[in-house]
Chain A
Amino acid sequence: MSNLLVEATNYLLSNFDTFVDLLREHLILVLVAQVGAILVAVTAGILATRNERTKTWVLSSGNISQTVPPLAVIALVFPFVGIGFNSALLAMWVYALLPIITNTIAGIEDVDEGTIRAAKGMGMTDSEILRQIQLPLAVPVIFAGIRTSTVMNVGTAYLAIFIGAGGLGDWVVTGIQLFNTPQILAGAIPGAVLAISLDTILGVAERNLDTQTTQSGGAVAEA
């Protein structure tokens, strides 16, 4: 095993320029898809808490998007956006939505009812309650959703190579075809490290955004 790790490290270092390119492609796919997903999913989650019918609609779309396999999404969208980076991005974006949507809804709806009643009784408008009370209190839960979907998408991005969108999947797929285990590991292990790093960075960002970290943090995280 340690032998394999040494060989994998060797492979990585002797192809370092290619590695940097692949890592960059991988990272760009994940980041662009996540930023897009966060913007849309948090907005959709907020809208869903405003009205029951919107909520049903948002949640079913989210669920459907999650059950369709990423490859099927690519098959469905490539006639419109072509094969390559764009369709990979779209598939990953769709895939990232649900965890963020469900956690946004849960985070907002789990805010203590007495807190909302007090805010309302003091004369806050609905939008003031949302901005000043519900969203700040929901931050830990929303972030848990963002972290879950980010980690998931680092894995999903490995499939992008099948439609020529690059990323670390290149080495994994080539390695499988050539029975080159060090190459597979040189592609796979950096992905795991990337997932852990992004999760940690988001964790730090959350703590900076949020003064009270004890509240409900992990509860919905595994949802």
Chain B
Amino acid sequence: MSQHAIEFENVRKEYGQTVALDGVSFSVEAGTTTVLVGPSGCGKTTTMKLVNRLEDPTDGTVRFEGEDVQNVEKTSLRRSIGYVIQDIGLFDHMTVAENVGTVPRLKDWDEDRIESRVDELLALMDLPPDQYRENYPRELSGGQRQRVGVARALAADPDLMLMDEPFGALDPITRDNLQDEFLEIQEQINTTILFVTHDIDEALKMGDKIAIYDVGEVVQYDTPENILENPANEFVEDFIGSNRGLKKLQVLPVEDVMDTDDSLVGTSVSELPRGGSEPESAAADGAGAPPHVAPGQSAETALSVLLESECDDLPVVRDGSVVGTVNLEHLHHSKSQRGELAHE
């Protein structure tokens, strides 16, 4: 049994005279998020469409769970794969509940099962079912619509989700929130995700692995850390942009750099000494709590809080008690530490 949810093997796709993809080969591990990123027209969306057969390859093979998708009937293939697109494409004449229940209905689930699945998903997407079930899409904000879009894609419990710039049309704040929520949700559902974006920051944030596309081909396929550390060529380097140092901190969770031997470890948040001045926009939740970060937050966030607050050692707090501290020195030395991690 192969661990690979999707395998691309030497895939080529032509549209008339134009070659959209050439020699694309990589595998996506089950349960991970793989982001396809590149400038527009580079073939990333085409790659995605080959998986649910909205397009068929000119040459080469695409396998889903070990089977050549060419041998699977289109509609049943698509019903087993969740699909989220940038335009969301909600059905305006159906309620939120009917929208979310689309694929289960196509699959002939019985009504009770659909109902409870819809409620479960709306709750998961932070749209209380009592409040939103009977709404029509036009009554929702952009962010809420995309939540419904994601819930709809998850409805029939797919083994694979295809997400084509799902957050691309949202404002930066909504996008950021949805990305965070989606990362949390993904830990619960454990589905394989293939994610397309043109935004390298989104790719670094969402991806366990990233495939960087230049025109029609994959130029680097690796983890975010390795891509930042060793860009395969100048194109990748340009694409990442100038602030690589900060981006490395973006993909580095605080827990990987924190000092777990500090004397503060074990104390609870309420016992922490109050910092001299209260930074107004620190990551501190709850009024009055001194500045702190969560272990899962990025080292970049920690840096930002450190710069704003006056403390030298920033407490890292999980469930109300301190599990470590982080200071500028830890962040500065994070590079070597991550090197060790990569070797493990």
Chain A residues near B (Cβ < 8 Å): 112-125, 128, 132-133, 136-137, 210-212, 214-215
Are B92 and A115 in contact (CB-based, < 8 A)?
yes
A132 to B88, CA, bound (A): 17
Within the complex, what minimum Cβ distance (angstroms) separates B19 from chain A? Answer: 23
Partner of A119, one of B77, B91, B93: B91
Taken together as a complex, chains A and B put the C-alpha atoms of A122 and B84 apart, in Å, by: 9
In the complex, what distance in Å separates the CA atom of A117 from the CA atom of B75?
A: 13
- A113: B residues at CB distance < 8 A: 87
Q: Which of B77, B87, B152, B153 has the most CB of A within 10 A?
A: B87
Taken residue by residue from 62 to 80, chain B's Cβ proximity to chain A (1 for < 8 Å, 0 otherwise) reads as 0000000000001111111
Chain A residue nearest in CB terms to B103: A122
**Chain A residues with Cβ under 8 A from B103's Cβ?**
122-123
Closest CB of chain B to A159's CB: distance in Å?
39
5 more contacts with CB within 8 A, not counting A112-B89, A114-B87, are A118-B149, A121-B54, A137-B93, A211-B93, A212-B93
B54: chain A residues within 8 A (beta carbon) = 117, 120-121
Is the CB–CB distance between A114 and B89 below 8 Å?
yes
Contact call B83/A118, Cβ cutoff below 8 A: yes
B75 partner residues in chain A, CB cutoff 8 A: 123-125
> CA separation between A128 and B91, bound complex, in Å?
13
Q: Select which of A123, A124, A125, A132 is within 8 A of B77 by beta carbon.
A: A123
- Per-residue contact bits, chain B 86-109, to A (CB 8 Å; 1 contact, 0 not): 111111110000000011001000
What are some 22 contacts across the A-B interface (CB < 8 A)? A112-B92, A113-B87, A114-B86, A115-B90, A116-B89, A117-B87, A117-B89, A118-B83, A118-B85, A122-B83, A122-B102, A122-B103, A122-B153, A123-B76, A123-B78, A123-B106, A124-B75, A128-B106, A137-B91, A210-B93, A211-B93, A215-B93
Residues of A within 8 A of B83 (CB): 118, 121-122
**B-side interface size class:** 20 to 34
State whether A121 and B85 are in contact (beta carbons under 8 Å apart), knowing that A212-B138, A214-B138 are contacts in the complex: yes
Between A117, A123, A124, the greatest number of chain B beta carbons within 10 A of the residue's beta carbon is seen for A123
| B136 close to chain A: CB less than 8 A | yes
Q: Does B334 contact A (CB under 8 A)?
A: no
| Interchain CB contact under 8 A, A123 and B93 | no
Whether the pair B92, A212 counts as a contact (CB closer than 8 A) is yes
Which residues from chain B contact A114 at a C-beta distance below 8 Å? 85-89
B52 at the interface (CB under 8 A from A): yes
What chain A residues lie within 8 Å of B80 (beta carbons)?
123
Instruction: Indicate if the CB atoms of A118 and B92 lie closer than 8 Å.
Output: no
Within 8 Å CB of A137, what residues of B?
A: 91-93
List the B side residues contacting A125 at CB < 8 Å: 75
Q: Which of A122, A132, A133, A136 contacts B79 (CB 8 A)?
A: A122
B92 contact set on A, CB distance < 8 A? 112, 115, 137, 212, 215
Given contacts A122-B83, A123-B79, A125-B75, contact A115 B106 (CB under 8 A): no
Contact of B89 among A119, A136, A210, A212 (CB under 8 A): A119
Chain B 174-221 interface residues, beta-carbon cutoff 8 Å to A = none
Chain B residues with CB under 8 A of A214: 138
